[in-house]
């Protein structure tokens, strides 16, 4: 089999997605997700201008060789743009291989290690009442694990709170990237946040009881000692995890946090390679790997990270907000089903327009996801529907402190 074409499709149904479609001389096609939220066209160019010409004529079955070739031959390694482009190729090749084998992809990754994939959803509210409504709504949708984010008195717009107004006047919703010509400015006050959050979890636990798994995302905004304090103050509420408590670049920061708190820690959604996790995994400074298939070089690379993590009792918590396309989500679900050290899967539901562009075979029942039994990933793209929604510029917001200083968003 030979690759005869590779097309980069940038479309914006509910948000922007970068999709690679690889076509073979035997008529089998494969899809890969290269979406990098707020920087989509950089990946599209990396693919179109630098990667697609290298793919034509290659044997699509040689996935490991393609990965090593794209990673090493560029000389300039790592980084989110490069690794998202490699991921798009890698996942498309796995899709082709599984279709050629007539099997759902998880069968080629070792087969199912479980019957379903526990998913968590994103509940949020501007106040306690709205938060409780959001949690109840998620429970009614079938979610059995809930991420809790709330507004903070004294801060105008906080990451992850759906109902607060966004810069263009619409509901913020779960998607922080806004179709505005410049990034929206948000405000931040770590001390106000640290004072408020424990009282939120106190209220949620007394309303919903001790059993419901609860998660929280700190979105990289704290110093190590601030994160340690938050972790300690949340211990009575038995969190499933505290996510991204410090900026992720400094692995050593997590050592201080770890020594002060038994709240489980998850990190890694902005990581690109296993090297970003080396200290964190070897020293068991975290409990969950948060990488997305899309941003970590694909299934080939993320499976190696998770196999490495398994030796240190670190589990998966694959990134799955709506900026992971249905193609990237399907890749995550096949990997989730196959690996032994599965922890939990993030799952935000895509909008109606996205579901028109991408036809999907996965199911979500009673809190558990399953990728389905179609050969390959189980996702097909409707090219006409994709073309009806061209790219729209959109940016993630950024933060300033009260004195005007730019802060981590």
Cβ at position 147, least distance to Mg ion in Å: 9
- The region that residue 355 occupies, defined by phi over 0 for left and psi between -120 and 50 for alpha, beta otherwise, is alpha
Q: Contact between 175 and Mg ion (CB under 5 A)?
A: no
Among 90, 217, 336, 380, binds Mg ion (CB under 5 A): 217
CA angle centred on 37, ends 192 and 399, rounded to 5°:
25
Q: How far is CA 149 from the centre of its chain?
A: 17
Q: Which among 122, 219, 220, 370 is annotated as catalytic?
A: 219
Q: Is the dihedral of CA 34, 39, 44, 45 positive or negative?
A: negative
Number of Cβ within 10 Å of residue 388's Cβ equals: 14
Cβ at position 328, least distance to Mg ion in Å: 15
Element (DSSP H or E) covering residue 258? helix 253-260
- Residue, CB closest to Mg ion: 217
Cβ at position 203, least distance to Mg ion in Å: 22
Is 219 considered catalytic here?
Answer: yes
One character per residue 262-301, x = contact with Mg ion (rule: CB under 5 A) = -------x--------------------------------
The residue among 276 and 380 lying less far from Mg ion, judged by its C-beta, is: 276
Half-sphere exposure of 364 (CA within 13 A, CB side): 22
Token pair recorded at residue 106:
């998880």
Cβ at position 59, least distance to Mg ion in Å: 37
Binding segment toward Mg ion, per CB under 5 A, in 93-101, 111-119, 217-225, 308-316: 217-225
Cβ at position 217, least distance to Mg ion in Å: 4
One character per residue 11-30, x = contact with Mg ion (rule: CB under 5 A) = --------------------
The residue among 30 and 328 lying less far from Mg ion, judged by its C-beta, is: 328
The residue among 295 and 350 lying less far from Mg ion, judged by its C-beta, is: 295
Element (DSSP H or E) covering residue 118? strand 117-125
* Alpha-carbon dihedral angle through residues 20, 21, 23, 27, given to the nearest 10 degrees: 160
The residue among 175 and 217 lying less far from Mg ion, judged by its C-beta, is: 217
Q: Are 38 and 395 in contact (CB under 8 A)?
A: yes
CA distances from 114 to 129, 142, 348 (A): 36, 19, 21
Is 277 considered catalytic here?
Answer: no
Binding segment toward Mg ion, per CB under 5 A, in 214-222, 247-255, 280-288, 303-311: 214-222
Q: Which residues contact 44 (CB under 8 A, 6 or more apart)?
A: 8, 10, 18, 34
The residue among 120 and 395 lying less far from Mg ion, judged by its C-beta, is: 120
Q: Contact between 346 and Mg ion (CB under 5 A)?
A: no
> At residue 174, what are phi and psi to the nearest 5 degrees?
-80, -10
CA distances from 221 to 53, 170, 266 (A): 41, 25, 14
Q: Which among 46, 159, 172, 237 is annotated as catalytic?
A: 159
The residue among 269 and 380 lying less far from Mg ion, judged by its C-beta, is: 269
Within residues 87-146, the interface with Mg ion by CB under 5 A covers none
Cβ at position 159, least distance to Mg ion in Å: 8
Active site residues: 159, 219
Residues interacting with Mg ion, by CB under 5 A?
217, 269
């Amino acid at each position: 089999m030979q690759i005869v074409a590779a097309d980069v499709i940038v479309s914006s149904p509910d948000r922007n997605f970068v999709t690679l479609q690889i076509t073979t001389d035997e008529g089998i096609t494969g899809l890969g997700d290269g979406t990098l939220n707020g920087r989509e066209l950089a990946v599209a160019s990396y693919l179109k201008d630098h990667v697609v010409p290298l793919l034509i004529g290659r044997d699509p079955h040689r996935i490991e060789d393609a990965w090593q070739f794209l990673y090493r031959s560029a000389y300039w390694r790592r980084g989110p743009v490069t690794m998202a482009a490699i991921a798009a190729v890698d996942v498309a090749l796995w899709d082709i291989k599984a279709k050629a084998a007539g099997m759902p992809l998880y069968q080629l990754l070792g087969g199912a290690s479980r019957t379903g994939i526990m998913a968590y959803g994103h509940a949020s509210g501007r106040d306690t009442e709205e938060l409780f409504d959001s949690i109840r709504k998620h429970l009614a949708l079938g979610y059995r694990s809930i991420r809790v984010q709330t507004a903070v008195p004294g801060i105008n717009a906080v990451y992850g709170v759906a109902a607060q107004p966004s810069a263009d006047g619409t509901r913020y919703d779960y998607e922080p990237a806004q179709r505005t010509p410049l990034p929206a400015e948000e405000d931040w006050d770590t001390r106000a946040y640290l004072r408020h959050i424990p009282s939120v979890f106190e209220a949620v636990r007394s309303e919903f009881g001790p059993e419901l798994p609860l998660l929280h995302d700190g979105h990289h905004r704290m110093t190590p000692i601030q994160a340690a304090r938050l972790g300690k103050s949340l211990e009575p509420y038995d969190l499933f995890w505290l996510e991204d408590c410090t900026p992720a670049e400094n692995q050593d920061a997590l050592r201080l946090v770890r020594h002060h708190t038994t709240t489980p820690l998850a990190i890694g959604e902005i990581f690109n390679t296993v090297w970003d996790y080396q200290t964190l995994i070897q020293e068991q400074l975290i409990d969950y790997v948060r990488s997305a298939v899309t941003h970590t070089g694909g299934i080939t690379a993320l499976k190696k990270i998770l196999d490495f993590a398994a030796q240190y009792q670190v589990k998966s918590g694959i990134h799955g907000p709506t900026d992971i396309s249905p193609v990237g989500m399907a890749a995550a679900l096949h990997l989730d089903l196959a690996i032994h050290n599965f922890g939990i899967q993030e799952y935000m539901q895509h909008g109606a327009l996205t579901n028109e562009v991408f036809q999907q075979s996965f199911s979500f029942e009673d809190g558990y996801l399953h990728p389905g039994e179609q050969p390959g990933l189980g996702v097909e793209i409707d090219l006409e529907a994709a073309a009806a929604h061209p790219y729209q510029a959109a940016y993630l917001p950024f933060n300033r402190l009260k004195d005007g200083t730019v802060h981590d968003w």
